[in-house]
Amino acid sequence: MHPQTLAARFYEVFGAHPTFLARAPGRVNLIGEHTDYNEGFVLPMAIDREVRLVGRPRADDWVRLYSLNFEAHAAFRLSALQRDNPPGWADYCKGVAWALQQAGYALHGFDAVVHGDVPIGSGLSSSAAIEMATIMAFQASNPEVCLSPETAARLAQRAENEFVGVRCGIMDQMIAALGQVGHALLIDCRTLEHTAVPLPKGVAVVVVDTGAPRALAASAYNERRAQCEAAAQMLGVPALRDLTPEEFEARRTSLPPLLARRAEHVVNENARVLAAVEAMRANDIHRLGALMSESHMSLRDLYEVSSPALDAVVEIALSTPRVYGARMTGAGFGGCAIALVDEAQVGVFIARIQYEYPRRTGLTPRLYVSAANEGARWQPFTPPSSIPTHRAILAHQPPAEPPLCAERGDSIFREIPDPETPHWWWCRDKRGRRGRVHERFFEEEDYRFVLREDFCAQELPLSVGEWVMLIEAYDGWALVENAHGERGWVPERALVPATPPR
């Protein structure tokens, strides 16, 4: 959602203008699943879906939040933190406050409007995104809180482990803190040493949300972690990361069969991560794809955290030409899979998933072509003196346009020029949606076309009198954003200026 729209909603809720913008991304893990809590290696990348807060510091110890995703208020005092039962979205923010105070920081509160486009419960780590965005908000509101990315990640992990009650590893918070544009991040989860690894050229990472959500805190995740700890203890090592594949094979008979399967996955997955880094540095996309597919088979057969929906996506992906590899990503038990796809084949791959997957599973997938994003940040935010909202008065429905929307800096995939309109191209956005984009909106960068500015080809149905944010106008059409963060084009003549709502 555009920051100015968030600012307008903040004004509606709190009656003042926000002074800071905090954000943190979701993530996909290219390879290295269930290795983080075994002190091993992971290779995630931050994605261009994120949680944003616009906020304003308070002088007292109250934190007041309004979630646009849930259309819900939450308020709590920093001196009286209590977890909800069952845990809710605000508990991740409370947990961060608790962890900061446990680390010795005296905090003032803030007011904030929160919005995220990281799908919730799909394995793209919306929880770490809101935790890290909240840490950024506390840093913006408390000048004495100045944390390194590694320290912030550790505190966010502690919040989720000890306050929310999910025994997650450190990977999600680390990549949310340290993501880099154009790179994945090799993380040693024992030492927190990290190295940026450039993404290979000529391929796209496509995320497929299976539509089969998982409840991570109530799943077998904690059980798998306990099994790994038991296996390490029986093998006499601090963590499974301390075994090579050869050492494990020589000692596996000392474990019960179930624990042996769990340990085999972790030990070999660590080796696959290091091999994947070498493949990426050599731009060996065939080797990288093969390692990703091996990872999925191990997660399915040895660690037993896949699902029929995830397996269906991987099977369809691997039967599609110029898809180099595919695997589930995240903790499993539902959620998302990823595929490494030739850039020129992205449209075909998306169309095939959209056609075959519902027929196999009865579920509707959501697809995102993901670019690597930067990590969590905050910045001062100064909204305009009068928030530029307009009242939409539609004389008629605008003609339907194909549903493509993207923001400045997003990668898009240019397909063919539109034969009927010069300077317009058929393109796909990061979610795999197709539409026409004027060539002035994009520029070539590293074999990709990157948007110079926001663009949306989607028709946005509006009611007479509905408030919208005017983003820009071009050739008689206006790009607007409604109160739900949805963007689209309407004729300029359908809009009349109006004062902001009070």
Residue-wise pLDDT for 153-174, tens only, equals: 999 999 999 999 888 889 999 9
Q: What is the pLDDT of residue 13?
A: 93
Q: What is the pLDDT of residue 159?
A: 97
Instruction: With a cut of 60, say whether residue 479 has pLDDT above it.
Output: yes
| 324-340: pLDDT as tens digits | 999 999 888 888 999 99
Under 8 Å CB-to-CB from 496, ≥6 apart: which residues? 390, 391, 393
What pLDDT band is residue 445 in, cutting at 50, 70 and 90? low
Instruction: With a cut of 80, say whether residue 407 has pLDDT above it.
Output: no
Yes or no: say if 261 and 269 are a contact pair by the CB < 8 Å rule: no
Fold match flag (3-26+44-188 vs 200-370) = no
Q: Which of 73-87, 225-239, 329-343, 432-446 has the lowest mean pLDDT?
A: 432-446
Quote the mean pLDDT of the chain: 86
Q: What is the pLDDT of residue 212?
A: 85
d(CA 244, CA 234): 16
d(CA 198, CA 193): 17
- Provide, rounded to the nearest whole percent, the portion of the chain with pLDDT above 90: 62
Q: Which of 126-130, 135-139, 416-420, 439-443 has the lowest mean pLDDT?
A: 416-420
What pLDDT band is residue 220 in, cutting at 50, 70 and 90? confident
Domain regions of the chain by residue span: 3-26+44-188, 200-370, 386-497
Strand 62-67 to strand 110-116: parallel, antiparallel, or no bridges (unpaired)? parallel
HSE (CB half, 13 Å, CA atoms) of 81? 22
Q: What is the pLDDT of residue 427?
A: 74
What average pLDDT score do residues 300-315 get?
96
Instruction: With a cut of 70, say whether residue 421 has pLDDT above it.
Output: no
Q: What is the pLDDT of residue 3?
A: 82
Task: Kindly report the pTM of this predicted structure.
Answer: 0.77
What pLDDT band is residue 260 in, cutting at 50, 70 and 90? very high
- Catalytic site includes residue 475: no
As given in the structure block, the two tokens for residue 275 are 């091999």
Nearest to 123 by CA among 207, 189, 5: 207
d(CA 403, CA 411): 16
End-to-end CA distance of the chain: 21
Q: Which of 113-127, 232-246, 332-346, 382-396 has the lowest mean pLDDT?
A: 382-396
Q: What is the pLDDT of residue 442?
A: 72
Instruction: With a cut of 60, say whether residue 240 has pLDDT above it.
Output: yes
Q: What is the pLDDT of residue 429?
A: 67
Domain 3-26+44-188 has CATH 3.40.50.12500: no
Instruction: With a cut of 50, say whether residue 394 has pLDDT above it.
Output: no
Instruction: With a cut of 80, say whether residue 251 has pLDDT above it.
Output: yes
Long-range contacts of 425-430 (CB under 8 A, 24+ apart): 428/346, 428/347, 428/350, 428/369, 428/404, 429/369, 429/404, 429/405, 430/48, 430/368, 430/369, 430/370, 430/371, 430/406
What pLDDT band is residue 473 in, cutting at 50, 70 and 90? low
As given in the structure block, the two tokens for residue 245 are 């594949």
C-alpha dist (Å) from residue 436 to 319, 417, 421, 471: 29, 9, 10, 19
Q: What is the pLDDT of residue 123?
A: 78
What average pLDDT score do residues 84-95 get?
92
The 3-state DSSP class for residue 5 equals: helix
Catalytic residue among 172, 209, 429, 454: 172
Instruction: With a cut of 60, say whether residue 501 has pLDDT above it.
Output: no
Quickly name the fold that domain 200-370 has. Alpha-Beta Plaits (3.30.70)
What pLDDT band is residue 359 in, cutting at 50, 70 and 90? very high
Q: What is the pLDDT of residue 259?
A: 98
Q: What is the pLDDT of residue 415?
A: 66
d(CA 456, CA 406): 6
What average pLDDT score do residues 99-122 get?
94
Instruction: With a cut of 50, say whether residue 273 has pLDDT above it.
Output: yes
C-alpha radius of gyration, the chain, whole number: 23
